[in-house]
Amino acid sequence: MILITGGRGAVATNLLSLLRADGHIVRVGSGRPDQLELPDGVPAVACDLQDPATFPAALAGITSVFLYAEPAYITEFVTAAAEAGVDHIVLLSSSSVLDPDAVTNPVAKSHLEAELGLADAPMTVSVLRPGAFAGNARGWSFSIKADRPVSLPYPDAYTDPIHELDIAEAAHALLTTPDHRGAVHNLTGPQTLTFTAQLDLIAELIGRAVTVDHVTPDAWRQEMAEYIPARYADGLLDYWQRCDGVPTVITDTVATLTGHPPRTFADWIRDNASVFAA
């Protein structure tokens, strides 16, 4: 049986569909299992990665785990998983762990600490390090739907938007076949695009103008204060500054794991066009 943690996330939701289509028995864990909307026959279980008391019941009878990167009690999770007989963990980490300031940047630090917490685990550990989720574009949807400019402190910063379904398919491959297990996999989308180029694509595909307001980092930080804690906002700003005018290195890892090239950012927009509908 496979346990999927972080059951409300986009990657977890897609992964569940893929595993069920193959006939695998799956249990979905969440800190709020009562809020999960699952297909009939898929059990929900309390698995709060910040509450180790929930680990033993969630892991009972489990052989493989899809694990979100929460480092708070990673040692306790590994212990409980070993006691339950888990033989494989697929960790959803982040390529941010490769940044030079990963040990201090809060965006990267939690992923790095989760990886380190699994470094000596007694079971096989596979690590997925995706770059920027294409779904991060949802953060622009409120402005776009309201016909307001999108505030960008670094409009020429590059990212490598990857479709969440490609991440789920990579995880599915690792969970269901022995190939490539026990390694670290750096995932990217097929293109490196500036934020401006991404917004241009959104405008083209939804058939509506999208404008950019090039703001200062301080102005963006104040605008986001209600939604993003200050330390995370600072971490994002530091990352975007490093990526300003610097294309991201693209990998072929998605194709290696899934057997097909990664979906484009335009594919993601088409799949999620309703997000930007007025």
What are 5-28's pLDDT values in tens digits? Answer: 998 899 999 999 999 999 999 999
What is the mean predicted confidence (pLDDT) over 80-85? 98
At 200 the pLDDT is: 97
What is the mean predicted confidence (pLDDT) over 209-231? 95
Mean predicted lDDT score pLDDT of the chain = 96
What is the mean predicted confidence (pLDDT) over 230-246? 94
What is the mean predicted confidence (pLDDT) over 136-162? 96
- Would the pLDDT of 146 be above 80? yes
What is the mean predicted confidence (pLDDT) over 218-225? 95
What is the mean predicted confidence (pLDDT) over 269-278? 92
What is the mean predicted confidence (pLDDT) over 189-199? 98
- Would the pLDDT of 278 be above 80? no
The model's pTM? 0.95
- Would the pLDDT of 136 be above 80? yes
What is the mean predicted confidence (pLDDT) over 163-187? 97
For 44-53, the pLDDT digits (tens) are: 999 999 999 9
- Would the pLDDT of 39 be above 80? yes
- At the topology level of CATH, where does 2-130 sit? Rossmann fold (3.40.50)
For 83-112, the pLDDT digits (tens) are: 999 999 999 999 999 998 899 988 899 999
At 2 the pLDDT is: 98
Instruction: Locate CATH 3.40.50.720 in the chain.
Output: 2-130, 132-161+189-249+263-278
At 107 the pLDDT is: 82
Is residue 277 very low, low, confident or very high in pLDDT (cuts 50, 70, 90)?
confident
Could you give the percent of the chain with pLDDT greater than 90?
94
Architecture per CATH, domain 132-161+189-249+263-278, reads as: 3-Layer(aba) Sandwich (3.40)
| DSSP per-residue codes, the chain | -EEESSTTSHHHHHHHHHHHHTT--EEEEES-GGG----TT--EEE--TT-GGGHHHHHTT-SEEEEE---TTHHHHHHHHHHHT--EEEEE--GGGGSTTTTT-HHHHHHHHHHHHHTT-SSEEEEEEE-SBGGGGGGGHHHHHTT-PEEES-TTBEE--B-HHHHHHHHHHHHHSSTTTTSEEEE--S--EEHHHHHHHHHHHHTS---EEE--HHHHHHHTTTTS-HHHHHHHHHHHHHHBT-PPPP--HHHHHHSSPPPPHHHHHHHTGGGG--
